[in-house]
Amino acid sequence: MNLRQKRAAALAKAQEYQKRIKGGESLTDEEVSEVKSLLAEVEALDIQISKADEAAETLAKLGALSTPEQPTGNDGGAAPKGRSLGESFVNGLKASGMSVKEAAKHGFSVKASTDTQSTGTPRDLTGPYGPLITDVDQQFALPYRRPLLVADLLGSGSISGNAITYPVFGALEGSTAFVAEGGAKPQIHVANPTWQTDALTEIAGFFKVTDDMAEDLPYVISEINSTALYDLQLREELSILSGAGTSNTLTGLLNRSGIQTVANASGESISDPELIFKAMSNVQTVTGFAADGIVINPTDYMAIRLSKDSNGQYFGGGFFSGQYGQGGIAEQPPLWGLKTVVTSSITAGTVLVGAFKAAGKVFRKGGVVVESTNSHDEDFTNDLITFRLRERVGLQVKYPAALVKVTLGAGA
């Protein structure tokens, strides 16, 4: 499938979602993420198609220069022979109508006037036309980036100041009861709230590019979107989950006072999936909210996903079909029907279960800001540009009891 066919296929998929939205249908979080990925793929393919067209144009212009034998290189023998190799190189450039930058981009070579040079066959990629007859993958080679989905489990809010103060209510003490006429009535009481203040904290970083690199706009875009922005969002996710609340970091969900904990009690040995269900039940028992999400490490998810019954059948379905050959196989089936985020952002052996939407909110003030300057340090004299990314983010956990930290493992 060529680049244009790939673009058409990606665009067609995105348009299918567009039809559904116009028809009044709402998309799931996973479908919204897929739409974003499809649009990003179309944009990337547009860049590749544009560069491929430009390269084809150049190749067509240079095709006229090709002959079976090139006595002095890419000049086709038309350039006057120089007294030195350097002079021959410059004369060859002039004869070919290429600048030094174009020669560096597309490849250009000469040899001494006493030597002859063969261009070789199309399979000879070491010849001077090797770069011109070889497809070049211009997609940036990036390291693996894991999906960042934890913040999506929580609610979101806006904030006008630099911090937010809110009450964290205690549990209901006592309960109503049936009483005889004239009998004493039982007292019910909501424990006094604890006032919590969460300040915004800043996540930031910077990187430098040279002036020449800055002329390559796709490169600059990739550095901002694919490298710096991803690292900033990863730092945010790790802090939301397990920030210690020190050194200007957030106090993460796992370190919040008042969250519940579940583990195998001494002498008790229930399975890890049962522990997770117990946590779901505790959320509803204590707060009344129904759990809506699970965050689990890939290692722990794999152990659960590959577990089998006494007949050797996978509980989650085998590698070709569902349990006992019934139904299709889901690539990453959710645990107990809840939205399951499988991520290395949480440590193995720990699972976070909760009513995330009700429990807390993520505040972002001003969004992610990208700024650039060539006046930082010695940038101006060294032909450098500094790009800075920063984000102000806060985390509010109003119902910590709606979150449960699960410690996996029998007898843990």
Report the pLDDT value the prediction gives residue 70, as an integer from 0 to 100.
43
The verdict on 117 and 154 lying in the same domain is: no
Q: Is residue 183 included in any domain, yes or no?
A: no
Residue 274 pLDDT > 90: yes
What pLDDT score was predicted for residue 172? 65
Alpha-carbon Rg for the chain, nearest whole angstrom, is 31
The pLDDT value recorded for residue 59 is 63
Of 50-59, 296-305, 337-346, the least confident: 50-59
- 142 inside domain: no
Task: Pick the last residue of a domain from 81, 101, 133.
Answer: 133
Backbone angles phi, psi at 368, to 5 degrees: -85, 125
377 within domain boundaries: yes
Provide the token pair at 114: 């006493």
More confident site: 101 or 327: 327
pLDDT at 337 over 60: yes
Position 53 scores a pLDDT of 77
CA atoms 330, 271, 357, 149: torsion sign: negative
Query: Which long-range CB contacts under 8 A does 374-382 form with residues at least 24 apart?
Result: 374/211, 379/208
- Res 41: pLDDT: 85
**159 and 304, same domain (yes or no):** yes
| Same domain flag for 165 and 31 | no
Model pLDDT for residues 172-202, shown as the tens digit of each residue? 677 788 889 889 988 877 677 788 888 889 9
pLDDT digits (tens, 9 = 90+) for 62-94: 555 544 444 444 545 555 555 544 555 556 656
AA letter at 97: G
Q: Which residue has the tokens 């659960």?
A: 304
Q: Sorting pLDDT into bands at 50, 70 and 90, what band is 137?
A: low
Q: Which of 347 and 379 is assigned the larger pLDDT?
A: 347
Is 378 within a domain? yes
DSSP line for 30-43: HHHHHHHHHHHHHH
Is 412's pLDDT higher than 60? Answer: no
Task: Give the tokens for residue 117.
Answer: 């040079």
- Whether residue 103 is found in the same domain as residue 202: no
Q: What is the reported pLDDT for 66?
A: 46
> Is the same domain home to 277 and 344?
yes
170 with 313, same domain: the answer is yes
What does the pLDDT read at residue 240?
Answer: 94
How many domains would you assign to the chain?
A: 2
Same domain, 231 and 338: yes
- Half-sphere exposure at residue 207, Cβ-oriented, CA atoms within 13 angstroms: 18
Residue 182 falls inside a structural domain = no
pLDDT above 70 (res 385):
yes
Instruction: For residue 206, give the amino acid letter.
Output: F
Average pLDDT, the chain: 78
The region, left, alpha or beta by phi > 0 then psi within -120 to 50, assigned to residue 397 is: beta
Distance of CA 29 to the CA centre of its chain: 15
Q: Which domain holds residue 280?
A: 150-176+193-321+334-407
Whole-number pLDDT of residue 411: 45
Q: CB-based contacts of 177: which residues, under 8 Å, 6+ apart?
A: 186
* Pairing outcome for strands 350-354 and 293-296: antiparallel
> Does 207 lie in the same domain as 112?
no
DSSP alpha helix (H) spans, 107-242: 130-133, 150-153, 211-214, 217-222, 229-242
Cα→Cα distances 146→228, 301, 339, Å: 14, 15, 17
pLDDT one-digit tens code per residue, 141-159: 556 667 788 999 998 888 8
Same domain, 303 and 248: yes
**pLDDT at 359 > cutoff 90:** yes
Q: Are 119 and 218 in a shared domain?
A: no
Report pLDDT digits (tens) over 233-269: 899 999 999 999 887 889 999 999 999 999 987 667 7
pLDDT of residue 261: 94
Query: What is the per-residue pLDDT for 62?
Result: 58
Amino acid at 85: L
**CATH for 201:** 3.30.2400.10
For residue range 204-218, what is the model confidence (pLDDT) as tens digits?
A: 988 888 888 877 777
The pLDDT value given to residue 360 = 92
Q: Is residue 328 part of a domain?
A: no
Residue 52: per-residue pLDDT = 75
d(CA 101, CA 72): 20
What integer pLDDT is reported at residue 91 of this predicted model? 62
- Regarding whether 307 and 252 lie in a shared domain, the answer is yes
Query: How confident is residue 36, by pLDDT bands cut at 50, 70 and 90?
Result: confident
The answer to whether residue 273 scores a pLDDT higher than 90 is yes
CA-closest candidate to residue 280, choices 360, 356, 172? 356
How much is the pLDDT for 80? 57
In this structure, is residue 104 part of a structural domain? yes
Residue 241 lies in a domain: yes
Q: Tell me: do 242 and 126 sit in the same domain.
A: no
What is the percent of the chain with per-residue pLDDT over 70, rounded to a whole number?
76
CA–CA distance, 338 with 315 (Å, rounded to integer)? 16
Residue 314: pLDDT band with limits 50, 70, 90: confident
DSSP annotation of 191? P
